[in-house]
């Protein structure tokens, strides 16, 4: 296969489109000009006057340039502009002809894209209906009994044969189908699940660590016979995946039964769980709000208790954001511990080497995460992917009773957390204090620069070129239209727009982020960026060491689940999660509380200086009652066991508080 799966046609089409769109107005103006270029000047003048007097200077500059251009054209003698009507008609016809061609190819292409999407949607719908018709019948009392088990209990019963894997599968399938009707987290059911479950019911298989446990899996995980698109329909063209990815192989080897594939945002680089193929997933706690992303389908299915163990991935918060919005637990391991390649490289040209994605488990308690990690960190995985360091789960660290020194912060210095989130952290810290851990205030370094100058520059280092070429053969989801549209402009215009946006939003990060998404210019710049990331990691580590911390506890996100469609105004919140991707530190989330009426009233005092704060005030002053809040627990690289231990301490501490 070539360097990229993306076809040359898409690139050419994009280049042609840009060329026509930006040159044709000028050609048309030339075509309409008299020998002195007067018509151009008149037109420009009237356009500029329409925009306002402030444009006078701009008009003068452009007008002078045109006069010079026309003169130059005349001097070369290539075109005779002296009132030559025929020539102007020819130019105008060529331009209009090219436009018609472009329009025709656009309509044709859109038709094909829509047909491709419809085909996939029909097949997913058929799969779901098929399951609805043919689901294994289990009495509803039995279903309730199975669904009420926690992970440990279900595993014990499966092992003893008190519950069969087939029954467990049917129970979760039933629940998932019912909940999916209101939440739309399902991409498609896994057809082989029943056969896998039957296999688990063989007595000889019962000792496998995850035998018979139904697991839900994010759409980007490679599974033989299924599409992995990340919400980009252009990737449907490459057909279904030929081989299970490493983690899917490992899960099956351990006896888990993947039973559904779950939804993601288009491109997975945002946390609005919506795309043109599978539609929009909503939050189990409030149907008008989103479940987060990019593992949003996982957040929703676990939040609705229709799965007991899910698998997602995270390059900027994709495990933690949906966990926080849907009130579930997750562990984002160090990228590398479960494989640094993860499953986010859906397209070869999308991979960069500085900030790596990682797969990770999501669940409804800490114990499940611990058992999942213990299970997958096995020789089978280390053999399958020799790049994964063969480090089994360190039970000693997890079970240690040593009192911990834990750093904490309420704000990362950029977007202020809403009162419900602050209260959640208060409760977690109080719980930890009651359990005799030592708490130390921790001040994080400049997260604004970390986000724009390191995270965005690394993740969009190619100036978003690869992604934009993919969009030449795809529909754009409304949740990212604005940003994709902006990337259609030439870079210098995007740069100007970025300064305007800083001014409009009163927030330098928005402009810096836009400029960062224009990419690094050269290999030298990339090396420089690499140096900056290394330096940032080094100085953060030093701060951590100076305070002799075992872990850090902080907000997962500054706000709770936002209304669907609002994420594009709230991107600033991601500094809380992206920090630990840039650092490559493991981090996990623990649900601690839910937003109360008092928290909503306290929103009156929330700042509203920057645009993002104004939007937060607008979206979170009402209709947030009952929405979950989690805290984020962070450890040093490859210390997932320490993170899980702190998560358990928070879980126990908060439970004690609630009881007292
Ligand atoms: C031109 C391409 C447009 C892509 C859309 C990007 C929209 C927002 C840009 C930057 C924000 C970064 C948000 C990171 C959240 C990532 C979630 C994850 N996959 O871990």
User: Per-residue pLDDT tens for 151-164?
Assistant: 999 999 999 999 99
Q: For position 533, what pLDDT does the model report?
A: 97
What's the pLDDT band for 41 if we cut at 50, 70, 90? Answer: low
Out of 24, 233, 274, 294, which one is annotated catalytic?
294
The minimum-distance atom of ligand 1 relative to the CA of 484 is: 1
ipTM, two decimals: 0.95
- Is any ligand 1 atom within 6 A of the Cβ of residue 268? yes
- Is any ligand 1 atom within 6 A of the Cβ of residue 429? no
What's the pLDDT band for 268 if we cut at 50, 70, 90? Answer: very high
- pLDDT tens-digit profile of 528-551? 999 999 999 999 999 999 999 999
What domains are defined for the chain?
8-109 (no CATH), 135-393 (3.90.1300.10), 400-442+547-660 (3.90.1300.10), 449-534 (no CATH)
Q: Which residues contact 189 (CB under 8 A, 6 or more apart)?
A: 127, 128, 131, 173, 176, 259, 260, 261
Q: For position 74, what pLDDT does the model report?
A: 61
Indicate the SS3 state at residue 552: strand
Query: Ligand 1 test: best mutation among 270, 498, 576, most atoms within 8 Å of CB?
Result: 270
Q: For position 347, what pLDDT does the model report?
A: 67
Distance CA 331, CA 296 (A): 15
Q: For residue 274, indicate whether it is catalytic.
A: no
- Is any ligand 1 atom within 6 A of the Cβ of residue 221? no
Q: For position 107, what pLDDT does the model report?
A: 87
What are the Cα distances from residue 61, in Å, to 55, 66, 67, 384, 432?
10, 9, 10, 63, 65
The minimum-distance atom of ligand 1 relative to the CA of 317 is: 20
- pLDDT tens-digit profile of 598-657? 999 999 999 999 999 999 999 999 999 999 999 999 999 999 999 999 999 999 999 999
- pLDDT tens-digit profile of 44-102? 566 555 555 545 555 566 666 666 666 665 666 555 545 565 666 777 777 788 878 88
- Is any ligand 1 atom within 6 A of the Cβ of residue 232? no
Torsion sign across C-alpha atoms 633, 635, 641, 642: negative
309 Cα to the center of ligand 1, angstroms: 26
pLDDT (mean) for 119-138: 96
Q: Rg (Cα) of the chain, in Å, rounded?
A: 28
For residue 379, with 0-12 CB atoms within 10 Å meaning exposed, 13-18 middle and 19 or more buried, which class applies? exposed
Q: For residue 294, indicate whether it is catalytic.
A: yes
Query: Could you give the percent of the chain with pLDDT greater than 70?
Result: 85
Q: Which two tokens stand for residue 657?
A: 């508080």
pLDDT (mean) for 466-480: 93
- pLDDT tens-digit profile of 560-609? 999 999 999 999 999 999 999 999 999 999 999 999 999 999 999 999 99
- Is any ligand 1 atom within 6 A of the Cβ of residue 306? no
What's the pLDDT band for 4 if we cut at 50, 70, 90? Answer: very low
Q: For position 345, what pLDDT does the model report?
A: 59
326 Cα to the center of ligand 1, angstroms: 20
Which of 76-85, 445-454, 464-473, 635-644 is predicted least confidently? 76-85
What's the pLDDT band for 20 if we cut at 50, 70, 90? Answer: low
| pLDDT at residue 377 is higher than 80 | yes
What's the pLDDT band for 203 if we cut at 50, 70, 90? Answer: confident
- Is any ligand 1 atom within 6 A of the Cβ of residue 274? no
Cα torsion for 636, 640, 644, 647, to the nearest 10°? Answer: 40
269 Cα to the center of ligand 1, angstroms: 3
Out of 233, 274, 313, 318, which one is annotated catalytic?
318
316 Cα to the center of ligand 1, angstroms: 8
Q: For position 95, what pLDDT does the model report?
A: 77
266 Cα to the center of ligand 1, angstroms: 10
Q: For residue 403, indicate whether it is catalytic.
A: no
């Amino acid at each position: 296969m070539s360097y990229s799966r993306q076809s040359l046609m898409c690139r050419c089409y994009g280049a042609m489109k840009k060329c026509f769109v930006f040159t044709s107005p000028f050609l048309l103006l030339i075509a309409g000009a008299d020998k002195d270029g007067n018509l151009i000047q008149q037109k420009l003048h009237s356009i500029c006057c329409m925009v306002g007097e402030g444009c006078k200077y701009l008009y003068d500059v452009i007008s002078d340039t045109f006069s010079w251009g026309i003169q130059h054209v005349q001097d070369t003698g290539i075109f005779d502009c002296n009132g030559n009507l025929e020539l102007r008609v020819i130019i105008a016809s060529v331009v209009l002809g090219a436009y018609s061609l472009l329009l025709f190819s656009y309509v044709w292409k859109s038709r094909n894209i829509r047909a491709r999407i419809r085909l996939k949607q029909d097949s997913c719908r058929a799969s779901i209906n098929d399951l609805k018709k043919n689901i294994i019948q289990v009495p509803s009392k039995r279903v309730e009994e199975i669904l009420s088990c926690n992970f440990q209990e279900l595993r014990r019963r499966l092992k003893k044969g008190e519950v069969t894997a087939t029954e467990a599968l049917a129970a979760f399938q039933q629940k998932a189908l019912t909940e999916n009707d209101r939440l739309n987290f399902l991409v498609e059911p896994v057809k082989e699940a029943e056969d896998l479950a039957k296999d688990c019911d063989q007595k000889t298989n019962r000792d496998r660590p995850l035998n018979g446990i139904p697991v839900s899996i994010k759409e980007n995980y490679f599974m033989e016979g299924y599409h992995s698109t990340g919400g980009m329909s252009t990737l449907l063209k490459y057909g279904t995946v030929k081989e299970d990815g490493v983690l899917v192989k490992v899960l099956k080897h351990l006896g888990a039964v993947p039973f559904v594939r779950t939804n993601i945002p288009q491109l997975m680089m945002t946390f609005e769980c919506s795309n043109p193929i599978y539609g929009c997933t909503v939050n189990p706690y409030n149907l008008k709000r989103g479940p987060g992303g990019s593992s949003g389908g996982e957040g929703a299915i676990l939040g609705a208790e229709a799965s007991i163990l899910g698998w997602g991935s995270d390059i900027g918060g994709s495990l933690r954001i949906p966990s926080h919005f849907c009130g579930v637990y997750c562990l984002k391991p160090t990228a590398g511990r479960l494989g640094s390649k993860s499953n986010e490289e859906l397209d070869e040209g999308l991979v960069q080497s500085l900030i790596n994605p990682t797969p990770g488990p999501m669940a409804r308690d800490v114990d499940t995460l611990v058992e999942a990690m213990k299970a997958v960190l096995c020789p089978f995985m280390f053999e399958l992917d020799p790049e994964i360091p063969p480090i089994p789960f360190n039970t000693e660290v997890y079970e240690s009773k040593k009192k911990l020194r834990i750093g904490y912060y309420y704000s990362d210095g950029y977007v202020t957390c809403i009162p419900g989130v602050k209260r959640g952290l208060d409760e977690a810290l109080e719980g930890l204090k009651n359990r005799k851990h030592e708490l130390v205030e921790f001040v994080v370094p400049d997260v604004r620069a970390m986000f724009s100058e390191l995270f965005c520059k690394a993740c969009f280092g190619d100036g978003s070129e690869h992604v934009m070429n993919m969009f030449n053969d795809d529909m754009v989801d409304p949740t990212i239209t604005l940003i994709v549209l902006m990337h259609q402009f030439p870079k210098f215009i995007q740069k100007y727009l970025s300064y305007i946006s800083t001014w409009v939003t009163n927030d330098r990060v928005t402009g810096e982020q836009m400029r960062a998404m224009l990419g690094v210019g050269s290999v030298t710049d990339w090396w420089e960026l690499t140096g900056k990331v290394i330096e940032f990691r080094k100085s953060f580590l030093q701060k951590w060491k100076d305070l002799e911390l075992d872990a850090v506890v902080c907000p997962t996100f500054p706000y709770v689940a936002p209304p669907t469609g609002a994420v594009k105004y709230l991107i600033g919140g991601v500094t809380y999660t992206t920090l630990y991707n840039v650092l490559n530190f493991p981090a996990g989330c623990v649900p601690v509380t839910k937003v109360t009426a008092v928290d909503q009233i306290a929103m009156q005092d929330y700042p509203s200086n920057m645009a993002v704060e104004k939007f937060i005030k607008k979206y979170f002053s009402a209709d947030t009652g009952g929405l979950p809040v989690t805290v984020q627990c962070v450890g040093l690289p490859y210390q997932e066991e320490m993170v899980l231990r702190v998560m358990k301490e928070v879980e126990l501490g908060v439970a004690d508080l609630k009881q007292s």
